[in-house]
Structure 1
């Protein structure tokens, strides 16, 4: 992939930093009230969507369209706005809608800018927690918390004997399949909390994150943040994480190879 010029990184990361603040203000001024919930699966399971999901996505789309009118937009709730541009924005207006519904503060707004299908700049904004994560280049990412900016770095010295693992399989692995990964189950000692787990990984607070069945809007915004913090991210088959699906993040190559082997019996 052709590297972006520094000025472009600055342009796009600055846009996302400003958007994070606007999204938090939008939540507290317009959405911090009673909302309606519906189930996308209509009796075939539970996949909630709220009026807030839709309001957030409309707000994000309007900001992108105003600043970058030629760019494509792909959103979880309103689909594809197609153009001839090589740039596309991928939006998850509320990652963790279940958390949002029950008042858990771990939900976030996730947005990535992709170039020819590859995520290059990402944002994970947590309005209730008053912080957001973003990358300023392919080498540097930050968290801004309570107005203070701090550089992110994974815990690259982590080893198997002290590894901090967060994983969630969301019922995609059957009980029989779970029996094939007993070591993974034993090592799952830290909670998995939506995109916050990936963000904590980039901040060195977790050493491994493994999740099932990510959609592109679940993972694309986090890929550039993780990579810029020094993390390794692939599918469970060690393929390009931009494909989404089953995702593994590791703090160093040795850990990554070990966990790929442990997950191999259930990697599909």
Structure 2
């Protein structure tokens, strides 16, 4: 049997999900709050529709594979291959008409991230990686992505979606890193990791992530030459507190401050 071309299949998933999502972008789309009274956590018809069509494609092509998704839960997590889906990562940006969102399609093999794509259908950009390499495809063409060299925090550009998403103790640790960097910016969600892989951002620090927020991004960051772990230096695919860096020196410097608490 010929090996499965997962890259081509993920492109199909990106196509169908993008077609589902785009009619809702910058429209009078209502968002439901699924937080249960906590921090506003929106979900839209676009989120649900996109995940449903991706799951349908996966079931038809790979009925033995598992799936974990933000909107419709998990099935067959003990399978050799498990798809990890976030139909719109950055829903708050999506409902605000901003472009810092994307569809995350990740694949685990025996529990380890082996392929990931971040698709931004509005800008027609795709960022993908398999842990060994990473590439960009968009209106400007196609090219290999590599993170950039950065000697230390004083030279680093740092991104986080928002410090308000962190608990107070984590926010204090993040601030200790933020005080050391050259430039700190907020927003971006999955897009910040893609920019790190492209060599435009040096450091991304987040907390309270779910597996579907980060799994697809790990093979992209690592494939571009970056480092991505939890704040305690462990594997990042379970989510939680995550730090990604384009240069191992910046990663080590950030970890030393994040672990100070």
Pair in the same fold by TM > 0.5 = yes
Counterpart check, 1:37 vs 2:31: yes
Counterpart check, 1:169 vs 2:152: no
Alignment-derived partner of residue 147 in structure 2? 154
SS at match of 1:242: coil
SS at match of 1:204: coil
Alignment-derived partner of residue 16 in structure 2? 22
Partner residue of 2:105 out of 111, 114, 133: 111
Q: Deviations over 1:158-211 (max 9, x none)?
A: 43332111134333231x654455542222523331100011001100111111
Partner residue of 2:58 out of 64, 85, 88: 64
CA contact (8 A) 1:76 1:217 kept: yes
Give the C-alpha shift of residue 84 in structure 1: 5.6
Give the C-alpha shift of residue 255 in structure 1: 1.5
CA contact (8 A) 2:88 2:101 kept: yes
Q: 1:207 to 1:84 in 2, by over 3 A?
A: closer
The runs of 5 or more residues in structure 1 that have no matched partner are: 1-5
Give the C-alpha shift of residue 63 in structure 1: 1.3
**Matched residues in 2 for 1:179 and 1:19: separation?**
39
Alignment-derived partner of residue 250 in structure 1? 245
CA contact (8 A) 2:163 2:171 kept: no
**Matched residues in 2 for 1:193 and 1:180: separation?**
20
Q: Deviations over 1:35-79 (max 9, x none)?
A: 332111233332111111110110111111121111011111111
Q: 1:159 to 1:218 in 2, by over 3 A?
A: same
SS at match of 1:69: coil
**Greater Cα shift, 16-25 or 214-223:** 16-25
**Greater Cα shift, 155-164 or 52-61:** 155-164
Count of residue pairs brought into register by the alignment: 256
- Over 6 Å off, 4+ runs: none
SS at match of 2:233: coil
Q: Normalization by structure 2: what TM-score?
A: 0.90
Alignment-derived partner of residue 207 in structure 1? 202
Alignment-derived partner of residue 259 in structure 1? 254
CA contact (8 A) 1:70 1:83 kept: no
Q: 1:264 to 1:55 in 2, by over 3 A?
A: same
**Matched residues in 2 for 1:124 and 1:46: separation?**
24
Q: Normalization by structure 1: what TM-score?
A: 0.87
**Matched residues in 2 for 1:84 and 1:184: separation?**
38
**Matched residues in 2 for 1:196 and 1:94: separation?**
11
